[in-house]
Structure 1
Amino acid sequence: MNRTRAGLLDGARRAFAEQGLRGSTMQSVAAAAGVAKGTLYNYFRTKDDVARALLATELDRLADLAAPLPPAEALVVLGDELATHPVLRRVAETEPDQLAALVVSGARWAELTDRLARALGVDADAAELAGRWLLGVVLQPGPTTGRRRQAAALARAMEPVD
């Protein structure tokens, strides 16, 4: 990813965390990125395009964090990242319908669980279970110690039965 695009997505992250998805505009994203609105339009046609690109970038980052770890550790890392992600916190609290549109609509959920299966090295059913737990963490993060206990229990439940 080139520096300009990365800077635009970083600005989008800040704007969305501050103002939510609905409250942000292409102008506020450009301002948060420190560029002219025209520069933003050179890379993205709409705010939805910006949100989708940010989601894809964040998914790549999370998959890279989780992939080298055993499932129990990966779930802890993913749970902590999702529970404290500023954009997800804002959207889950103020625009849950937008969260659903971004994450759980149609093919998007299948893509997410497929990526999760690859990152965790588990089958589709285990990835579905992990995905549902992680979505729950986004919606209601709970205390860190509880999330970590749940991640360990989930990892045990995801182990293949011989």
Structure 2
Amino acid sequence: MGRTRLGLLTGAARAFAEQGLRRSTMQSVAAAAGVAKATLYNHFRTKDDVAAALLGLELDRLTTLAAGLPLEQALGALSDELGAHPVLRRMAETEPEALARLLAVDADRWADLTGRLAAALGVDGEAAEIAARWLVGVVLQPGRSSARHRQAARLAQFLTATGAATSA
């Protein structure tokens, strides 16, 4: 990914965290990225395109974070990242309907998400779907880190006991 595109998405994350997705505009995203609006439009046609690209970047970052960790640690790390994510927290607090639309992904996007998660966690598809649904719950109601880590341990034990994962 080019530096310009990464800078634009970093600015978008800043704008979305500060203003929310609904109130952010292409102008505010460009300003947060420190570029002219025309530069932003050279890379993205709409704010939805920016949000989709940011989501893809975050999925890449999160799956990289989880890859190679033992299952329990990976689930705990993912829950910490999602529970404290500034854009997701802002949306949960001020734009729950926009967050619900984001989380109500279409079948292709869900398959991509669970496929990435399965590869990163070293689990089968059903286990990845269970983990993804738990992580969606974390986004909606993060709770305390200690509680999330206990839940991650339980989930890892369950997935290992059912043969869906190779290690906890």
Is TM > 0.5 for Structure 1 vs Structure 2?
yes
Q: Provide the residue aligned with 1:153 in structure 2.
A: 154
Deviation (angstroms), 1:160: 4.9
Q: Name the amino acid aligned to 1:142.
A: G
Q: Which moved more, 1:93-102 or 1:23-32?
A: 93-102
Cα deviation code 1:64-93 (max 9, x no counterpart): 000111111100100000000000111122
Aligned AA for 2:103? V
Supply the distance in 1 between the matched residues of 2:105 and 2:72 (Cα, whole angstroms).
27
Cα displacement string for residues 16-71 of structure 1 (whole angstroms, at most 9, x for unaligned residues)? 00111100000000000000000000100000000000000000000000011111
Please identify runs of 4+ aligned residues in structure 1 that moved more than 3 A: none
CA RMSD of aligned residues (A): 1.1
CA deviations over 1:69-121 (Å, ceiling 9, x no partner) = 11111001000000000001111222222223223322222221121111101
Q: Please name the residue that 1:124 is paired with.
A: 125
* Segment of structure 1 superposing worse, 106-115 or 142-151: 106-115
Q: Partner of 1:71 in structure 2?
A: 71
For 2:157, the aligned partner's letter is: R
Task: Determine the C-alpha separation between the residues in 2 that align with 1:140 and 1:26.
Answer: 29
1:144 aligned to 2:138? no
State the TM-score, normalized to the length of structure 2. 0.93
Aligned partners of 1:52 and 1:102 also within 8 Å: no
Aligned position for 1:29:
29
Unaligned runs of 5+ in 1: none
Counterpart Cα distance in 2 of 1:104 and 1:120? 22
Greater Cα shift, 85-94 or 37-46: 85-94
1:1-162 matches, within 5 Å, as 1-107=1-107, 108-161=109-162
The normalised TM-score by structure 1 is 0.96
Identity %: 69
> Distance in 2 between the 1:56 and 1:114 partners?
13
Matched length? 162
